[in-house]
Amino acid sequence: MIDTKDMMIIDALELSNWDRDFVLMLQKGGVTCVHACCGLWENARETLSKVAGWHRFFEEHQDLVMPVKTGEDIETAKAVGKLGIILGAQNTSALEDELGLVSVFNELGVKIMQLTYNNQNLIGSSCYEEVDPGLSRYGKNVIREMNRVGMVIDLSHVGTKTSLDTLALSSRPVAITHANPDWIYPTKRNKSAEVLAALRENKGVLGVCAYPHLINGASTTLEEFCDMISQTVEFMGVDHVGIGTDLTHNMSVDFLAWMRMGRWTHEIDYGAGSKSSPGWPEWPAWFQTPVDFPNIAQGLAARGMTYDEVSKIMGGNWYRFFSEGFKAEKELEKCVSLT
């Protein structure tokens, strides 16, 4: 049995119904830090309300949680035994058409933004659109501005062309917080070897994802999941793979409809689901709640990985990536000139 006590376990995306019980489960699972989704289709004004809601959550549960805006915050969370929470949005809808809002939401601690959710937007296009024209003119400006202020670019739901454009343009490493290689689990949401090779070149990190629709459903075994991780590590290198479960604990069916259909359609859209599996999916037996995080570490160890390798995948890589990625470009230059 591998001991996960001293590991920094970081989950690079959860979309769960946050309450005190959920935090306690994460802590029981040994999790140090979670990237929590605080926006899908929300505009700037609506995102302020989401951030305000998080302020309240941080205040009401300050004995258990703390906001994370820097790598040092993650260290502090680990040291004091609190759960660190990184706010992020799975869309750039909060920016509307205003480049200046990148630094504004960055100041509010929205430290990660996925360029597109499931649809084409002002910046680029998604993996579900028929044609992805790549980064728009505004999109290119947003990439440069995110690079400048230290807001992490996430490509998880983003289309191939927009992803490749971003990986070519970004001066800094990029994240795919929650997706898998599509040659192992072929779905639109998973990533091609071309995109993952470009991510590897960019020194980015891929968060392998346990969302049932992105693997083989609830029947996927721990061994199969860890085998996928192992193959991904072979392709990406052990420093460029982390975990992004996409856990959707205790979420309502209403939220599912909002998540998939926002305000953009009056027809049913199944997102990563399908007509035959329209609801929230069942999760595998070995990952029912965040209490089960150590199972993944055990599975990786059972597959022959060393403590260091498991530790990197369970959170060490994300810790390194976020510590750098959340810094403003100016701070990075300072660090370089000091060394």
Q: Which of residues 106-125 bind its own copies (CB under 8 A)?
A: 107-109
Query: Quick check: 45 binds its own copies (CB under 8 A)?
Result: yes
100 exposed, middle or buried (CB, 10 Å; 0-12, 13-18, 19+)?
Answer: exposed
Query: Quick check: 86 binds its own copies (CB under 8 A)?
Result: no
Query: Quick check: 49 binds its own copies (CB under 8 A)?
Result: yes
Task: Output the smallest distance, CB 47 to its own copies, in A.
Answer: 10
Q: Are 85 and 68 within 8 A, CB to CB?
A: yes
User: Which of 21, 60, 98, 333 is the binder for its own copies (CB under 8 A)?
Assistant: 98
Task: Output the smallest distance, CB 19 to its own copies, in A.
Answer: 17
Of 103 and 277, CB closest to its own copies? 103
Query: Quick check: 97 binds its own copies (CB under 8 A)?
Result: no
Query: Quick check: 332 binds its own copies (CB under 8 A)?
Result: no
Of 67 and 273, CB closest to its own copies? 67
Binding mask 56-75 for its own copies (x = CB under 8 A): x-------------------
Task: Output the smallest distance, CB 208 to its own copies, in A.
Answer: 33
User: Which of 52, 168, 253, 257 is the binder for its own copies (CB under 8 A)?
Assistant: 52
Per-residue HEC secondary structure of the chain comes to CCCCCCCCEEEEEECCCCCHHHHHHHHHCCEEEEEEECCCCCCHHHHHHHHHHHHHHHHHCCCCEEECCCHHHHHHHHHHCCEEEEEEECCCHHHCCCCCHHHHHHHCCEEEEECCCCCCCCCCCECCCCCCCCCCHHHHHHHHHHHHHCCEEECCCECHHHHHHHHHHCCCCCEECCCCECCCCCCCCCECHHHHHHHHHCCCEEEECCCHHHCCHHHCCHHHHHHHHHHHHHHHCCCCEEECCCECCCCCHHHHHHHHHCCCCCCCCCCCCECCECCCCCCCCCCCCHHHHHHHHHHHHHCCCCHHHHHHHHHHHHHHHHHHHCCCHHHHHHHHHHC
User: Which of 103, 119, 170, 288 is the binder for its own copies (CB under 8 A)?
Assistant: 103
Task: Output the smallest distance, CB 292 to its own copies, in A.
Answer: 33
User: Which of 2, 48, 184, 251 is the binder for its own copies (CB under 8 A)?
Assistant: 48
Binding region for its own copies (CB under 8 A) out of 34-42, 52-60, 177-185, 270-278: 52-60
Of 109 and 284, CB closest to its own copies? 109
Query: Quick check: 24 binds its own copies (CB under 8 A)?
Result: no
Angle between helix 137-149 and 329-338 (nearest 10): 40
Q: Which two tokens stand for residue 36?
A: 């929590």
Binding mask 242-261 for its own copies (x = CB under 8 A): --------------------
Task: Output the smallest distance, CB 218 to its own copies, in A.
Answer: 37
Nearest to 173 by CA among 157, 160, 155: 155
User: Which of 38, 77, 101, 214 is the binder for its own copies (CB under 8 A)?
Assistant: 101
Q: What does the CA dihedral 293, 16, 47, 43 come to, rounded to 10 degrees?
A: 110
User: Which of 24, 44, 197, 256 is the binder for its own copies (CB under 8 A)?
Assistant: 44
Query: Quick check: 51 binds its own copies (CB under 8 A)?
Result: yes
# chain residues binding its own copies, by CB under 8 A? 17
- List contacts with its own copies (CB under 8 A): 44-45, 48-49, 51-53, 55-56, 98, 100-101, 103-104, 107-109
